[in-house]
Amino acid sequence: MKTKCTDRYVTFKGIDGDGNARRLILMLRRHIDAPDVSNAFWESFKQKLSLVGSPDANHGRVLDELFLVHSYINNIRELFEERDDHEALELLQQIEEESC
């Protein structure tokens, strides 16, 4: 029996890109909220996260978690690799394949 696979270039139906991105951000926060991991880059990233869903605070620009994951995917991947977070890396790979 052949497994049905969703082709992201045909449809996003059945793909929870926003939900997956929110889950990934929670995984990321476990690392970047730790004082020994955070740095100026991650502090700036957290500022961007604070603007998610608040266009009035961001000059009318609407940010969401999926956009931020897509924009900083290499930085996020590097951190998860450094922290040996395989669960987060798997979800990041899924998001990249399905939604980015």
**Residue 57 resides in a domain:** yes
**Residue 40 resides in a domain:** yes
Dihedral angle of Cα 63, 64, 69, 75, to the nearest 10 degrees: 40
pLDDT value of residue 9: 54
Confidence of residue 13 (pLDDT cuts 50, 70, 90): confident
Give the residue numbers spanning the domain of 27.
17-99
Point out which residues pair with 52 in neighbouring strands: 63
**Residue 12 resides in a domain:** no
> Would you say residue 42 has pLDDT above 80?
yes
pLDDT value of residue 55: 85
**Residue 10 resides in a domain:** no
**Residue 3 resides in a domain:** no
Segment holding 40, helix H or strand E: helix 40-50
> Would you say residue 61 has pLDDT above 60?
yes
Q: Report the Cα–Cα distance between both ends of the chain, in Å, rounded.
A: 29
> Would you say residue 3 has pLDDT above 70?
no
Q: What are the tens digits of pLDDT across the range 70-99? A: 999 999 999 999 999 999 999 999 999 998
**Residue 5 resides in a domain:** no
Confidence of residue 6 (pLDDT cuts 50, 70, 90): low
Average pLDDT score, the chain = 90
**Residue 11 resides in a domain:** no
Number of domains observed in the structure of the chain: 1
The identity of residue 98, as a single letter, is E
**Residue 6 resides in a domain:** no
